């Protein structure tokens, strides 16, 4: 999304839209009702994770990072770590190894518990995108996300609380998406992951700091997970340069505040079907409110503006 691209540019990486597919905003669809809004600034880019990973790795190598592919880290002890058969010393150790972080556990930072777990699965289909937005289709028990990732490719993702639900089964409840995909076959294997909401008491200890999902996470419903890791990387780099990880702790908490609030708001709609349908119906009658909420979502509007939009939305839901 635009805020993630901004953070990446500050890290020195400017994504090439030609390697993905640009989209203008977000569209909610709930049965026959839909509402869409454009990003207040810039555009999103739908991009395969493999392409993004390659771009980031190439940039890291270009600025002098030694990438030790295939090296297994088996433990840390203070500012030393075991890498394959070698013991190495480091001034700093950063655990950016995902939600199941071993660095987090080894460093004694594995406090807190998941506040909510959902399950996501995705497939890519060889079909021309039919939308200029990232689309979220709301169902009673799950959501389907459709993101264009190329001129002839779309990514279709499912998120639900049912660990056994898969895309093929879920698509039967979304006839519009199923019709769009009719006659096409997936071009990738179905991959799955856990979407968790997690807050940690601390994201650093001594010489060890955590970043990305290793340092806590918000539900994937926000689409902000990868953006958080980029924003955290920026403030972590400054903290490391200043030798002050306490400042990273404070900034990390601030970075997480807005996405965590948006996740709670969207998960409220996910859990309460009648409330969501009234909300989406009210938004469809006043897309301006939805545009204001999207602006808050990507950090381009203040909490005061969001609150004003929320009050107006609530009034329209009651009046409608």
pLDDT beyond 90 at 54: yes
Helix (H, G, I), strand (E, B), or coil: what is residue 319?
helix
Sign, CA dihedral 289-255-300-2, equals: negative
pLDDT beyond 70 at 181: yes
Kindly report, residue by residue over 224-274, the tens digit of the pLDDT: 889 999 999 999 999 999 999 999 999 999 999 999 999 999 999 999 999
Kindly report, residue by residue over 97-116, the tens digit of the pLDDT: 999 999 999 999 987 666 77
Q: What percent of the chain has pLDDT over 70?
A: 99
Rounded to two decimals, what is the model's pTM?
0.91
pLDDT at residue 311, as a whole number:
85
For range 191-197, the mean pLDDT: 91
* Residues in Cβ contact with 111 at an 8 Å cutoff, skipping those fewer than 6 apart: 200, 201, 202
Q: Which of 189, 275, 259 is nearest to 220 (CA)?
A: 259
Kindly report, residue by residue over 161-173, the tens digit of the pLDDT: 999 999 999 999 9
**What is the DSSP annotation of 181-195?**
TTT--BSS--EEEEE
pLDDT at residue 315, as a whole number:
83
pLDDT at residue 205, as a whole number:
94
CA angle 63, 64, 69 (to 5 degrees): 115
Look over the chain and give the mean of its residue pLDDT values, rounded to a whole number.
92
- What are the boundaries of each domain within the chain? 2-67+218-319
Structure-block tokens of residue 304? 């005061």
Q: How far apart are CA 224 and CA 2, in angstroms?
A: 10
pLDDT at residue 300, as a whole number:
86
């Amino acid at each position: 999304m635009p805020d993630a691209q901004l953070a990446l540019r500050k890290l020195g990486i400017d994504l090439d839209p030609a390697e993905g597919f640009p989209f203008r905003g977000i569209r909610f669809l709930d049965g026959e009702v839909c509402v869409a809004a454009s990003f207040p600034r810039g555009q999103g880019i739908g991009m395969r994770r493999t392409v993004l990973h390659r771009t980031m790795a190439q940039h890291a190598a270009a600025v002098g990072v030694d990438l030790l592919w295939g090296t297994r880290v088996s433990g840390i002890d203070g500012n030393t770590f075991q890498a394959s058969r070698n013991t190495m010393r480091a001034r700093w150790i950063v655990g950016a190894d995902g939600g199941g972080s071993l660095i987090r556990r080894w460093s004694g930072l594995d406090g807190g518990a998941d506040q909510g777990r959902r399950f996501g699965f995705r497939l890519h289909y060889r079909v021309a995108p039919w939308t200029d937005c990232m689309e979220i289709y709301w169902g009673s028990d799950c959501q389907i996300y459709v993101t264009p990732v190329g001129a002839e490719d779309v990514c279709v993702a499912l998120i639900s609380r049912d660990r056994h639900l898969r895309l093929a089964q879920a698509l039967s409840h979304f006839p519009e998406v199923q019709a769009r995909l009719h006659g096409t076959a997936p071009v990738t294997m179905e991959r799955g992951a856990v979407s968790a909401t997690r807050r940690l008491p601390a994201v650093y200890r001594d010489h060890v700091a955590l970043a990305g999902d290793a340092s806590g996470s918000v539900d994937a419903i926000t689409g902000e997970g990868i953006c958080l890791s980029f924003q955290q990387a920026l403030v972590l780099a400054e903290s490391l340069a200043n030798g002050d990880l306490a400042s990273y702790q404070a900034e990390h908490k601030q970075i997480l505040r807005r996405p965590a609030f948006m996740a709670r708001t969207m998960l409220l709609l996910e859990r309460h079907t009648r409330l969501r349908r009234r909300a989406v119906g009210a938004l469809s009658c006043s897309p301006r409110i939805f545009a204001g909420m999207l602006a808050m979502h990507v950090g381009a509007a203040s909490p005061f503006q969001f609150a004003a939009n929320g009050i107006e939305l609530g009034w329209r839901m009651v009046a409608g």
